[in-house]
Amino acid sequence: MTEPRIYFSAPNVDESDVKLVAETIRNGWIAPVGPELKLFEQQLIQQFGYPNLVLLNSGTSALHMAVKLAGIKPGDKVLVGSFTFISAANAVRYEGGVPVFMDSESATWNLDPDLLEQYLIKHSGTGNMPEAVIVTHIFGRPALICDIVAICDKFGIKLIEDAAEAVGSEYQGQTLGTFGDYGVISFNGNKLITTGGGGAIICKNSGDAEKVRFWSDQSKAQSAQYLHLELGYNYRLSNVLAGLGLSQLAKFDAFLKRKEAVHNYYLTELRSLDWLEPTSALSGSNHWTNPFLIKQEYLESINPDFIVQKLEEANIEARRFWRPLHLQPIYANTEFVGGGICENLFERGFCLPSGTALDSTQQERVVKALTDLR
């Protein structure tokens, strides 16, 4: 008999979520406007200390708005950390920008500040400078963000933080998504808190937030005349989904604690596996997921595809790492700066089920499936 499926990052919803969504529907604001949207925005700002925040219908929409706010025009170059999900590069393309992919450093696996600085020194004054940088906090792991901020400031280029996976992660006590000119978070079904689909942009400047409200509502001029002077988008979040966001946010602290417990359990239980690279401590992560690396010398016999397949046989959903963007067929002809760091992570890495609803029996099953491998 097969055991019940263990999902990679199942949403954690209970009756309190159902109740609040039902109340939201009953109060009649079944639209991309309404009191729950306002309240969800206010509570996010209060809880995480975001300066300004606009809810949108996805993290990808938020990245697009950030690229637009950064003033990216057709042909403009944007440096993008290669080790991330596809959204960041696509958002650059939506505005006609040209992504240039950059390798990771090996400590946090995120965009390497040394490479960034070298690149900007090399291109400074050439008329071929990038206009912006997009750095992702991959798997919730904080990038070396203070170094990156300092470099962007020095060269006067805009910084966008993709904190889609990093809600509640911190760097030196400061919430991720608040370091750059613009930050992006996501409430997709697999993220730490979910609205089923949704996201937000964080802006340092309130004028920028107002621009996003305008663009995301079809750039409708303030009149009953349906007057449009600029290209607009329908990117607003539904008030019904904001209701779900509110009930999820109320459980955020408990979710974060659960993520940490799941993480610590894996670390303890998997420590003795000889083929697994010891995981070095990384402070500030929300442990959105649990990434592991296979030791280089074991790759001949154990690789990430093998692990995903073996866990699948036990009805457990594990995942490979994000395929670096410079290895994506759609971006095959795009410039890449760096060496083999993120390619090597991709060749050796896999992520284990990490949902906050994962219980200890399920986690034991995951650990057993891995220890049984050899």
Ligand X SMILES: *Cc1c(COP(=O)(O)O)cnc(C)c1O
Contact between 168 and ligand X by CB under 6 A: the answer reads: no
Cβ(55)–Cβ(41) below 8 Å: yes
Cβ 321 to ligand X, closest distance in Å?
A: 12
Sheet architecture: strand order including 77-81: 52-56, 199-203, 182-186, 158-162, 132-136, 77-81, 98-102, 336-337
Q: Among 9, 24, 58, 238, which residue sits at the site for ligand X (rule: CB under 6 A)?
A: 58
Binding track, positions 134-163, relative to ligand X; x by CB under 6 A: --x-------------------------x-
How many chain residues bind ligand X (CB under 6 A)? 13
* Distance of alpha carbon 156 from alpha carbon 125, whole angstroms: 12
Residue nearest ligand X (C-beta atom): 59
- Interacting residue with ligand X among 12, 24, 82, 84 (CB under 6 A): 84
58 or 363, CB closer to ligand X? 58
Contact flag: residue 85 with ligand X (CB under 6 A)? yes
Please report how close the Cβ of residue 327 comes to ligand X at its closest, in angstroms: 16
174-193 binders of ligand X (CB under 6 A): 186, 188
| Three-state SS at 308 | helix
Q: Which residue, 61, 315, 66, 330, is CA-closest to 182?
A: 66
Angle at 341 between CA 340 and CA 346, to 5 degrees: 95
SS3 37: helix
Q: Is 165 in the site for ligand X (CB under 6 A)?
A: yes
164 touches ligand X by CB under 6 A: yes
Shortest gap between Cβ of 197 and ligand X (angstroms)? Answer: 7
Interacting span for ligand X (CB under 6 A) from 84-92, 123-131, 218-226, 231-239: 84-92
59 binds ligand X (CB under 6 A): yes
Residue 9 within binding range of ligand X, rule CB under 6 A: no
Q: Among residues 305, 69, 365, which one has the least CA distance to residue 208?
A: 69
CB atoms near residue 360 (< 10 Å): 10
Q: Helices then strands (H, E): number in the chain? A: 12, 13
Binding site for ligand X (CB under 6 A): 58-60, 84-85, 87, 136, 162, 164-165, 186, 188, 199
